Amino acid sequence: MKLVSFDDVIDVTLLLQMKNLIDRTIASEKDAAVGNSLFFHEAPIVSMEAQYSLSYPGEVLERYEERCGGGIEQIRALAIALAEKKELLDESMFIGKQQIHFLRKIRKLANNDSYLCCALYLLTDSNEEEEQMYQMILTNSYNNSLEAMFAISVLRNRGDSWLFIKNLAVQFLGKKRSIAAYGNEYLYVWFLEEFWSKIKAEKKRDGQLLKALLELPKRFVKDTVPAWNRLLDYGYSENEIRYLNLVLPGTIRVPDVLSRSSITMERMALAAMKEWINAEVLDNDYLYELCRKILLEYQHYSICLEENAGIVQSLNYLICIKNEKIYYFLYQNQENLRLPENWFYVDFDVNQWQYLYSVIDIKNFIEIFAESLCLFGKKTVTDWLQNYMQITGESLLDIFWKDSSSSIKKAFHILVETGQCNLLDLLQQYNTHKKDLTDTELQNTWVYMKKNIYEEVKDLKSRAAYQFWEKFIELYDLRNLELFFNDKNMVFDAVGIRTYNPYFKTIDFHESTLSLDEQRKLFDWIEQMVYWKMPERYEDFLCSFLLKDSAKIIFPEESKSLFYELKDSIENTAIRNSLCRIYFTEEEWQAYQKQEKEKQKELERLDKQKELETYRNKVEEELNAAEDRSDEMIRLASFFPTYYSRNIDEFFFCLQLLEQKLDESAEIVKKAASKIMESILYQFKHGRINWTSVQKLISKMEVIEYESTED
């Protein structure tokens, strides 16, 4: 519980120690906790005996000056402790005149000290002195909020003092307030708990400040709420309002107080964190600690807010830190609060970066600086480089020889892209080192720089990358490019060729980046690599290239010549047709289509002829297996194709064969005739044969009962 401002005028620790000592030396069964003390009832961290070797209240009053300090702060602490515990005091706690001497000292000082005046009001047993002190309390000219609030605490149980208490509270919790809300929230807790019913019943205009304060633990007080503007009018800052609005719920005991797990509290916490973390300045250190507590408390919402599970998820990309102290405070708590890394990538000025450099690990500083450069420094790279030099005393370019982390690679890209780092100069430097250094020295020198260069050039997405390839190939040839970077698929990957189950349709010659001459040279490199690495797919590669729109652009004449060379060897009909449509003139295309149709017809004719030949062989084989003529005719009847058969030639073959058999012998047994007629009439029904032909067949048949057995 916080009440820090009193530490400057009262030795609060001594006060608590004295109250605790009295509680532990009570000779009766009286309740130790008396009243609702402004200074609460918490046990001290260190007891009076342990810290000062004072074992009973009277000894403290006698020896406090030599043991505890004899200043006014200690006198006030002991006087207030005695006043608050008056009902528990008895003679056994004191020896001789220990208490009397101390009260005498208080009386001497009370006329000029409002705290001691108030304490004496509670301590005295004289009605006359009590009334005298009461009048002094009422007429005293209070200098600050602490004096006023202590006077209020002393008079809280007098029923005739509400008007005085209200006026004093409105003044010294309002425009005459001399203490900040930060760290003094218990003062507000105590006051609102003590007087909430009277504040709630207040109707007059002069009580509106107190009503506004009473709203703080009960609702979200924001700029759309009247209480917000009322508190601003009475001198509270926006951050003080947010602070009290967040700390009072869950601390204070008044009706209708907000639950800390409510969605309203979640919204309050989110709004405050967004405001404070993004602030250019926070006006009090207590706000830092409250930020930590809020972020920790609402790591997981009790009720999901806009589908977010916790406050960090809600804030996520709403954070842009502008203050280095806020930054460092969150940085220290990053792991515990599970804060995302992107919160710490910032656009600070050189002085703020200087501060961070002095307080965080150098490796982490470099990583954060590099990431921040990528996000915020692209347009002012020169300034960022100068800042880094001024802060660290070394060039950012030197880092690329010592590190190749993800952040460093991103920064390397920015410097290459903005011309601050030249890849060709680095290649020339490598060429020089290759001549002057041993293989081991060369490897050790270039181990990180190679990785940074590789990340920049591997995808060929910039002119600088292409120029590096071109110069390298000129110096060391194409195959050594992949050896240099220890990537056996680098060339293919750069243009999107898949090396497993090779596929060339997605090949990319970076038309948006490279000139036509550069694209032609790139094609030559890729063609060489395909021919070397997968010669069996060389023709597929060429065809896939010719199918691309860019082929005619890159090679206006050569692409057509290449097509004519490949055309007749392309086995895939769909690819061949697609290429013909691209490269033929309209007349050539029409002629090609006609020729292809004729070829298709001939193929279909040959296929039908082959099918019919197979069918004929099958029928003849079946008929040859017949036992007698009757069996032969029945088998023939079964071979007549159905109406749904696509090959009508099969029907006419069967019909011709039937006529031939009948011409050889018209005699046909009844069973066979029946099967023959059934098949013929089926064909007639479906229009394959006319009635005249049916009659002709019938006229040829001579139905007999039994087949002749003569040889």
Q: Is the pLDDT of residue 30 over 70?
A: no
Lowest mean pLDDT: which of 2-6, 43-47, 431-435? 2-6
Helix residue ranges, H only, 202-237:
208-215, 226-233
**Partners of 305 in the beta sheet?**
308
Place of tokens 């449509």: 581
Q: Is the pLDDT of residue 711 over 50?
A: no
pLDDT at residue 350, rounded to an integer: 93
Q: Which of 62, 70, 64 is nearest to 17 (CA)?
A: 64
Contacts 24+ apart (CB under 8 A), 116-121: 116/75, 116/76, 116/79, 118/83, 118/150, 118/151, 118/153, 118/154, 119/76, 119/79, 119/80, 119/82, 119/83, 119/154, 120/79, 120/83, 121/83, 121/154
Per-residue pLDDT averaged across 153-180, rounded? 94
Q: Is the pLDDT of residue 641 over 80?
A: no
Q: Is the pLDDT of residue 35 over 60?
A: no
pLDDT per residue as tens digits for the range 318-346: 999 999 999 999 999 999 999 999 999 99
pLDDT at residue 365, rounded to an integer: 95
pLDDT at residue 669, rounded to an integer: 82
Q: Give the chain's mean pLDDT.
A: 90
Are the beta carbons of 51 and 20 closer than 8 angstroms?
Answer: no
Q: What pTM, to 2 d.p., does this model score? A: 0.73
pLDDT at residue 644, rounded to an integer: 58
Lowest mean pLDDT: which of 27-31, 162-166, 492-496? 27-31
Question: pLDDT-based confidence at 302, cuts 50/70/90?
Answer: very high
Are the beta carbons of 116 and 79 closer than 8 angstroms?
Answer: yes
pLDDT at residue 666, rounded to an integer: 77
Q: Is the pLDDT of residue 509 over 60?
A: yes
Q: Is the pLDDT of residue 695 over 90?
A: no
Residues of the chain with pLDDT > 90: what percent?
66
pLDDT per residue as tens digits for the range 457-471: 999 999 999 999 999
pLDDT per residue as tens digits for the range 479-500: 999 999 999 999 999 999 887 7
Lowest mean pLDDT: which of 190-204, 364-378, 627-641, 689-703? 627-641
The DSSP call for residue 308 is: B
Residues of the chain with pLDDT > 70: what percent?
96
pLDDT at residue 387, rounded to an integer: 95
pLDDT at residue 636, rounded to an integer: 79
pLDDT per residue as tens digits for the range 418-476: 999 999 999 999 999 999 999 999 999 999 999 999 999 999 999 999 999 999 999 99
pLDDT per residue as tens digits for the range 532-591: 999 999 998 998 888 888 888 899 888 888 888 888 888 888 888 888 888 888 888 888
Per-residue pLDDT averaged across 151-180, rounded? 94
Q: Is the pLDDT of residue 86 over 80?
A: yes
Domain boundaries, the chain: 1-140, 361-581, 597-704
Q: Is the pLDDT of residue 599 over 90?
A: no
Q: Which residue has the higher pLDDT, 564 or 121?
A: 121
pLDDT per residue as tens digits for the range 51-83: 999 999 999 999 999 999 989 999 999 999 999
The DSSP call for residue 305 is: B
Are the beta carbons of 93 and 57 closer than 8 angstroms?
Answer: yes
pLDDT at residue 31, rounded to an integer: 54
Rounded to whole angstroms, the Cα distance separating 296 from 284 reads 20
pLDDT at residue 657, rounded to an integer: 83
pLDDT at residue 1, rounded to an integer: 45
